[in-house]
């Protein structure tokens, strides 16, 4: 295990360097000149050149290595402080979405897979297909109008300094709307995984031995289907943070997603660059953790 972990961490280095260089090239050679944006309309050519000197590749690589991105160009707030103060709000919303999405999709998918071909199975698949056909933006608009303005069950905007208050007051509506969108593709995908496992010989052998259907499904089918499920969860994790952008904007949540949207609108390059590099790091770390979990859920997996 340890040699594999060391080898994977070493392999992540060139991948991260490539991602860092790609970010630098995209931000400095495509679109507007960052030096002109930072200098403003009244900057002289000498000032623009001086600013451009501060945006060289060497300084950028030093920022990546030290994780010191300087300050925002528009608010002059330290980028590190932006992440420290906005990330908790993002996690408060997105972690419950990820947890409930997984915990609800797994038993639902297993149930419809077990009842394959029944009326319940077909009805859930039809509802899932319809849910996939509707944009998340439509869910947000209709959900805010119905549950917020008409029924008054949830506030559509707001945030507080208390995590418990946020979880009980401001998170339920975006959580419910996100689950309405996320459960559909997850249920369909996990159903496919379970159906594939239910067709194997070990399932018929387990049933022939007299095991209950609950034991067959949860002790055998679920465990053998966990590898593709873990792969899907690992791929979805970075997307969860990207999906927070839309939620935080429409629900006025002071999280990192809304801050990134504001940074894009203001061409605030330090914030955008830091977010992009951190997402690349997060994706590689998640992939490594998922590979290690393969060994945990299935001892037959050999890490090479």
69-98 pLDDT, tens digit each: 777 777 778 888 888 888 888 888 888 888
The string of pLDDT tens digits covering residues 187-228 is 888 888 888 877 777 777 877 877 777 777 777 777 778 888
The percent of residues in the chain predicted with pLDDT above 90, rounded, is: 0
Domain annotation covers residue 75: no
Pair (36, 89) in one structural domain: no
Does 144 share its domain with 19? no
Contact at 8 Å (CB) between 29 and 264? Answer: no
147-167, pLDDT tens digit by residue? 888 888 888 888 888 888 888
Q: Are residues 56 and 101 in the same domain?
A: no
CA distance 189 to 240: 17
CA atoms within 13 A of residue 295's CA, in its CB half-sphere: 11
pLDDT (0 to 100) of residue 144: 85
What Cα–Cα distance (Å) separates residue 268 from each residue in 115, 142, 156, 230, 257? 52, 32, 28, 35, 14
Name the DSSP letter for residue 209: T
Smallest Cα–Cα separation from 279: which of 19, 84, 86, 11?
A: 19
Number of domains in the chain: 2
Q: How many CB atoms lie within 10 A of CB 237?
A: 18
pTM of the prediction? 0.73
Residue in the block written with tokens 């905007």: 157
Q: Is residue 189 part of a domain?
A: yes
Q: Is 256 helix (H, G, I), strand (E, B) or coil?
A: helix
CA–CA gap between residue 261 and residue 258 (Å, rounded):
5
Query: Do 178 and 256 share a structural domain?
Result: yes
Find the domain containing 285 and state its range.
84-297
**Are residues 259 and 111 part of one domain?**
yes
**How many helices (H) and strands (E) are present in the chain, helices listed first?**
14, 0
Q: Are 237 and 292 in a shared domain?
A: yes
């Amino acid at each position: 295990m340890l040699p594999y972990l060391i080898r994977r961490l070493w392999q992540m280095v060139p991948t991260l360097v490539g991602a860092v260089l790609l970010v630098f090239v995209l931000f400095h050679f495509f679109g507007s000149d960052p030096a002109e944006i930072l200098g403003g309309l009244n900057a002289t050519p000498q000032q623009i050149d001086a600013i451009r000197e501060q945006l060289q590749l060497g300084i950028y690589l030093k920022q990546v290595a030290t994780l010191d991105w300087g300050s925002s160009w528009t608010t002059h707030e330290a980028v590190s402080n932006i992440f420290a103060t906005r990330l908790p709000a993002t996690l408060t919303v997105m972690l419950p979405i990820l947890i409930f999405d997984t915990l609800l999709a797994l038993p639902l998918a297993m149930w419809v897979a077990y009842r394959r071909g029944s009326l319940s199975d077909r009805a859930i698949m039809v509802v899932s297909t319809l849910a996939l056909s509707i944009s998340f933006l439509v869910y947000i608009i209709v959900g805010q109008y119905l549950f917020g303005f008409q029924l008054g069950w949830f506030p559509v905007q707001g945030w507080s300094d208390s995590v418990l208050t946020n979880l009980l007051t401001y998170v339920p509506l975006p959580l419910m709307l996100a689950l309405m969108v996320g459960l559909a593709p997850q249920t369909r995908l996990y159903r496919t995984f379970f159906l594939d496992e239910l067709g194997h010989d070990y399932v018929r052998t387990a049933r022939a031995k007299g095991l209950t259907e609950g034991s067959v499904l949860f002790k055998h089918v679920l465990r053998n289907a966990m590898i593709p499920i873990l792969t899907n969860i690992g791929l979805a994790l970075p997307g969860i943070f990207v999906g927070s952008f839309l939620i935080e904007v429409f629900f006025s949540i002071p999280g990192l997603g809304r801050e990134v949207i504001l940074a894009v609108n203001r061409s605030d390059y330090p914030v955008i660059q830091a977010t992009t590099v951190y997402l690349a790091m997060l994706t590689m770390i998640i992939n490594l953790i998922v590979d290690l979990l393969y060994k945990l859920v299935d001892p037959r997996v050999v890490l090479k």
